[in-house]
Structure 1
Amino acid sequence: MDLDIPRPKEKTIDPFTQEEADLIIDRLYATDHWPSGIYAAFFEFAFYTGMRLGEIAALQWDSVELEKRRVLVRRTVALKEVEDRTKTKKDRYVLLNDRAVHALEFAKAYAERRAKGSGRIKEFPHCFPPSKGHQFIQQTSDLHHQWRPTLKALGIRYRPPYNARHTYATMCLMAGMTPAFIAKQLGHSLQILLSRYARWIDGEGDWTEMGKLKIAPKLARSET
């Protein structure tokens, strides 16, 4: 008799709250070491666009259209190299809210200041160049050096930086945005979004839906 082969369990979705996200961002911006401020902009952009970390690290100014408030996602960082592809092998536009625009404006001012300094890197085609001598963030360990101490200092339960993407998705769902739009922003299929974030899609709306069913209780018959 054939046995059912169990499928691997999908990782639990464990987003931050919006309040936690803002605390993390504010703490990173408050650094005394000004070159490290770029990581604050990086994570503000991550929390408020939902882009994958590799996509943000690979984002270049030639893919940014601030006047149209959008970026073209067409590159990612893999094995310390920028590759002209995304995880899904499909380019997509991501629309920018005010927080994402703020992160890019900070990054632009940061790059201009870096270019005037004494560092060996003078050209900054990438939006979020690390504070050391590279043009782009090459590996997630560079992010963890900023991430872990920040969460510890704030007393926020540890979750990996990738969960910024989950945070954006759940914030959008709880704000009432349509799943189809959110899936497009994230570069997901609608089916994946619906299965992965089902409990945020249902959530508080469940009892609202139940309330649409009007059923009057029957009166108990008295015993004769």
Structure 2
Amino acid sequence: MYAKTQALPETVKIQSDNGSLRLQFSTKYNPIFGGKRKHQGLGMKDTPDNYQKAIAIAWRIEGDLQHPDWQQLFDPTFAKYGLKTKYTAELKLATPIPEPEPEITVGEMWEDYLIWKQPQLQPTTFKTIFCGTYTNIIKGLHWDHSQHKFIDNGSEIYSLSVNDSRLEQRIAQQTASARNRTRIEAELSQAFGRLQSLGKTKLTVNPFVTISKNVENKADKYKSTITPSGDIKEWWQVDGIGVDPEEEDRRAFTKEERDAIVNAFYNSSSRRHRQAASLIEFLFLTGCRSGEAFALRWQDVFIGRDKNYIRFNKSYNGRLRNTQVTKTGEVRLFKIYPNLNDLLLRIKPADVNQTDLVFVNTQGNSYNTNLLGDLWQEARCGTKGKVYRYPGIVTQLVEEGKISCYLSPYHTRHTFITLMAHAGTDLLLLATACGNSVEVIQRHYLGVDTEADFPNI
């Protein structure tokens, strides 16, 4: 047997019998099992994975037996619980067991969850991540760069019921990144928890918690953990940030890596990369969100003795092709300091129109997340069945060993906050300028400095 690392049913125990797993029912159930204590074989060898499956089965059976309507819920054939037995005739039940009602499908559960979730999210996050990325994963759709369309990857769970035995196998087959897989499993776990609270399922065990717990991570140092609510938490994630995945990952570039990235953009042989260099430097020097930089106009930049600040009051979303309020819905004033002042004076045209965008691409248009991703990570294009890959600046630096790892453009924000916080910047000033809070900066950016010493006092 294996160590109990989670709560186990009290009246339906799991035992090992000659190398196989079986269930043992409490004597309180003797009357319904012909007056005898019941043992039920599971047809599973005694292995760690099978033990986890046995726990899920035991919880479901115990939940049915302890329910006030147990005579309608409990299935004496055990077929409801995925078992095949011959034990039915000798049971003494007061009423016949009705055919179980079909469970809701994952797709129905997910669509209902989206309606509930939408008011809690920014329009961009809801449309691109939840209705786009996550829904495509559930439907088993994968973007094929060579064909420029979504194709079925065989891992669809949208049409499966929430108690379908194929759920775990399908999720294991998904071609999504490990990061997106763990996130969608966490969202499905929350969706199922809501389903239970609404009484729309008879299942007593969350199948998506079971699936998540069976995900193996061999790197102990970076092993993901599971919260009490069943969500998966990666090693770099922190509590209290919110639902935005980009805000959860607090990793940052070092100052040297930051400078290497900025210099690589300025010194690139590609005009597109050189054109974007000032935007990259600006993101690193302000920690603003990329959409805020895309929407910034010269009328929001005040340089002078009386006024010396940037006003962040809007954000541009390239996918939705609209300009909206900032993520927090607030207007922020960012105080300009010497390095930022030098950048702005260097890129400001002599004949500037105050309504002009501060940062435009080589075609004179606004930047967007996709374009920035092409320049930062990589661009791909397909023709005649072939996909051509054009590594971005940061990807190249990683491949050349000039920076330690790849981080997304959003980490320019985390880098700015981290470097400023550790440099002794007033935390209230920093929090106000970045649309954050002092508590968040103290908890999530001011880690322990392993090189610091106690003063000799």
Q: Using the alignment, how far apart are the partners of 1:48 and 1:12 within structure 2?
A: 19
1:202-217 matched pairs, under 5 angstroms: 202-203=448-449, 207-208=453-454
Partner secondary structure for residue 132 of structure 1? coil
Q: Using the alignment, how far apart are the partners of 1:38 and 1:208 within structure 2?
A: 46
For the pair 1:74 / 2:74, whether they are aligned, the reply is no
CA shift for structure 1 position 80: 2.3
* 2:310–2:336 Cα contact (<8 Å) kept: yes
Letter in 2 for 1:73: F
1:86-165 matched pairs, under 5 angstroms: 86-109=326-349, 125-134=356-365, 136-137=366-367, 139-148=368-377, 149-154=392-397, 155=400, 156=403, 157-165=405-413
CA shift for structure 1 position 8: 5.9
Partner secondary structure for residue 208 of structure 1? coil
* 1:48–1:97 Cα contact (<8 Å) kept: no
Match of 1:5 among 214, 229, 236: 229
For the pair 1:190 / 2:419, whether they are aligned, the reply is no
Aligned position for 1:61? 298
Match of 2:275 among 38, 46, 60: 38
* 1:42–1:103 Cα contact (<8 Å) kept: no
CA shift for structure 1 position 86: 1.0
**Deviation sequence 1:115-167 (CA, Å, 0-9, x none):** 9xxxxxx9971100122252x11x21111222122123333321101000011
Q: Using the alignment, how far apart are the partners of 1:125 and 1:91 within structure 2?
A: 19
Cα-Cα RMSD = 2.9
Partner secondary structure for residue 51 of structure 1? coil
Higher helix proportion (structure 1 or 2): 1
Aligned position for 2:171? none
Letter in 2 for 1:130: N
Q: Using the alignment, how far apart are the partners of 1:23 and 1:183 within structure 2?
A: 26
**Deviation sequence 1:69-128 (CA, Å, 0-9, x none):** 310110101222112x2111111111122332233234324x96xx9xxxxxx9971100
Task: Give unpaired runs (5+ residues) of structure 2.
Answer: 1-6, 8-204, 206-227, 238-247, 378-391
CA shift for structure 1 position 6: 4.4
* 2:299–2:354 Cα contact (<8 Å) kept: no
CA shift for structure 1 position 169: 0.7
CA shift for structure 1 position 170: 0.9
Deviates more, 1:152-161 or 1:7-16: 7-16
**Judging changes above 3 Å, is the alpha-carbon distance between structure 1 residues 38 and 87 closer, same or farther for their aligned structure 2 residues?**
same
Q: Using the alignment, how far apart are the partners of 2:281 and 2:330 within structure 1?
A: 24
Q: Using the alignment, how far apart are the partners of 2:275 and 2:356 within structure 1?
A: 14
Q: Using the alignment, how far apart are the partners of 1:176 and 1:87 within structure 2?
A: 27
Q: Using the alignment, how far apart are the partners of 1:32 and 1:98 within structure 2?
A: 29
Q: Using the alignment, how far apart are the partners of 1:42 and 1:170 within structure 2?
A: 20
For the pair 1:180 / 2:428, whether they are aligned, the reply is yes
Q: Number of residues paired by the alignment?
A: 197
Letter in 1 for 2:373: H
**Judging changes above 3 Å, is the alpha-carbon distance between structure 1 residues 33 and 152 closer, same or farther for their aligned structure 2 residues?**
closer
Which one scores higher on RCO, CA 8 angstroms, separation ≥ 6? 1
* 2:290–2:410 Cα contact (<8 Å) kept: yes
Q: Using the alignment, how far apart are the partners of 2:231 and 2:426 within structure 1?
A: 29
CA shift for structure 1 position 33: 4.5
Task: Give unpaired runs (5+ residues) of structure 1.
Answer: 116-121, 213-224
**Judging changes above 3 Å, is the alpha-carbon distance between structure 1 residues 105 and 80 closer, same or farther for their aligned structure 2 residues?**
farther
Q: Using the alignment, how far apart are the partners of 1:29 and 1:181 within structure 2?
A: 30
Letter in 1 for 2:359: F
CA shift for structure 1 position 38: 3.1
* 2:422–2:446 Cα contact (<8 Å) kept: no
Match of 2:258 among 14, 21, 39: 21
**Judging changes above 3 Å, is the alpha-carbon distance between structure 1 residues 66 and 123 closer, same or farther for their aligned structure 2 residues?**
closer
Q: Percent identity?
A: 26
Letter in 2 for 1:104: L
* 2:376–2:409 Cα contact (<8 Å) kept: yes
TM-score (norm 1): 0.76
Q: Which structure is larger by alpha-carbon Rg, 1 or 2? A: 2
TM-score (norm 2): 0.39
Higher strand proportion (structure 1 or 2): 2
Q: Using the alignment, how far apart are the partners of 2:358 and 2:291 within structure 1?
A: 12
Partner secondary structure for residue 280 of structure 2? helix
